[in-house]
Structure 1
Amino acid sequence: MFSWNATQRPIVALAPMAGVTDAAYRQLIKELAPDAVVYSEFLSTDAIHYGAKKTMGMMYFDPKKERPFIVQIFGKDPEHFLSAAKVVEEMGADGIDINMGCPAARVTSSCHGSALMKNPELACELVRSTKEAVKIPVSVKTRLGWVSPDELIPFCTKLVDAGADALAIHGRTYSQKYSGSADWNPIYELKKQVDVPVIGNGDIKNAQDAIDKLKNLDGVMIGRGTFGNPWVMKDVCQAMEHCESQVTGHRSQDFRHATCDMRHLVPTIDKLTFEQKIPLIIHHCELAVELKGEKRGMLEMRKHLASYVKGIDGAKELRARLVRVETVDNVKEILIKLQS
């Protein structure tokens, strides 16, 4: 059985992202970074409780390709958390993560996501209900606080007391949404106060960011930094292994005092031209079509394709064509011309 405490350090995790971390994306990431922990998109406990067809389909994963696989859930009804957790465990997931960090208005207006930081009693009850239902680990992903980072330690210590097996913290408050820079200092302080794994999240764009931010934490979680650049997950995993060889002792706990020389580690993303990235982009399309059918798969791939071409010469014209594709062959016709 999967255990956060037994997972190789430093942990490198793909953050749950709505509309992004479906099975095709997770499988792509695992091909690039086999040691990464991957998460589902966030799923409604209400929808799971009532057996909503779309949500049940979003829980699909390939156990041969996607482990460790964590299903992230959100909601506010303890009874629905209990029943949804049982469903998640029965379908074979390695763990459950409770979303207490999403700042979207449509989520917080229902007292879901970040809004649970304003109601620690309910937040703890949701953790207890989930723990009561399953034997697999239950973690929580949250933010520094609703308004102030001073809220982080009191809130998270209550979650741990309620039974949370691990914590993933995004380095912004709800009030910040995604503005400004992520502040990891409160996360380092939290790690000193709790005896469960703590993973940091926010503003990791490359391997050096991950190394610099790790310090005393158990791992790093990368979300928006992978969008259009899944190769960054490979770079981060390789960097962690590289730095492990420079640091005496076991992995995570020695990074807080270590200086890792990255000069001889050339990031994958810097080595690849856009033309060299094309086969993986096409492979991503093929995975999406295999799992969802061509019509739906390619419709959902359009946002990924637009992101893949960001920053290259002629991106505007290329993006305008890619967001209208309907088949994998359409993508090949557009991109393979760039290789000639």
Structure 2
Amino acid sequence: MGTEQTLPILDLNDFVRGDAGRRAAFVSTLRDTAHGVGFFYLRGFGLDEAQARALFGVSRAFFELPQADKDALRMSNSPHFRGYTREGDEITRGQKDWREQIDIGAERAVLPLGPDDPAWKRLQGPNQWPDGLPEFRLRVLDIQAHLTLAGQQLLRALALALGQPVDRFDEAFAGTPVQHIKLIRYPGQEQVRSAQGVGAHKDSGCLTFVLQDVQPGLQVYYQDRWIDAPPLPGTVVVNLGEVLEILSNGYLRATLHRVVSPPAGTDRLSLAFFLSPRLDAALPELPLPPELARQARGVERDPRNVLVPHTGLNLLKGRLRSHADVARRFYADVLAREGIVLPEDAGAYN
């Protein structure tokens, strides 16, 4: 069971527009929060309530399209893991997630590929957009730009929190950072086979922003219990991904989290935005100041989720285990080479 909301609330304006005292207080609070629970609410992230409502309006319009129209955009069309996924067709920790969603990345051209190029280069490419909903594309790309800027500002604060130069992360995110949005609808529990909206997991990137509509369900695992992170107007929920855990030798920890399916008679809308370094970025561990290095816990070792310090490789392993239909169609060579075995029914449309 979850508990009442206990996550801290930070305001990015304190860092971006504040005086020296407010900036220092923000960095200190961010350090404590990122080392501890690893999740927090953020105000001042560049999107007002009217923009958020408009976004969820076009999200609702998409999910209310006829099933055939959504299926025409199914992710199994895309080697870049872009497009629509039906309820039960994404896998977390070997179990089906009961949510439907559309995955959208930065709108970029396919990378040139030679026979010896690494498989992670296939992750970049165009999106699939619904016909007849022109506002959908505009709203989604607009929030992608807002949250990318907020993420870059937050990374500068995190650099200071870790005793690094303020621009420590700038180069890795310059030019073509990985920008990945999921628009998600969780159906009510009377329509699903389990309460797993999405199973307990860590995010494979660097920073995640979760914008929630009105229905709760997000939970964070901290100090041996699940903590609720319900919607809070004017905020976005932020959590750290595996990249930051690796770079800080576990001083920062990517935290397990999940979504519980909403009650019968309701559904839940949310947007998750994942910001990661460029696909080709291989980042060395940060030289932490001695007082922080003594508190580093080491990278958590989970044989089901081996962390690697390379953006493209780390993201690809997560995509392959989550979307078996795309993996089988476009990455059969990787599955064979790595000896990856996928569930037989994963990704099969009913």
TM-score, scaled to structure 2: 0.26
Structure with the larger helix share: 1
Structure with the larger strand share: 2
TM-score, scaled to structure 1: 0.27
* Larger RCO (CA within 8 A; separation ≥ 6): 2
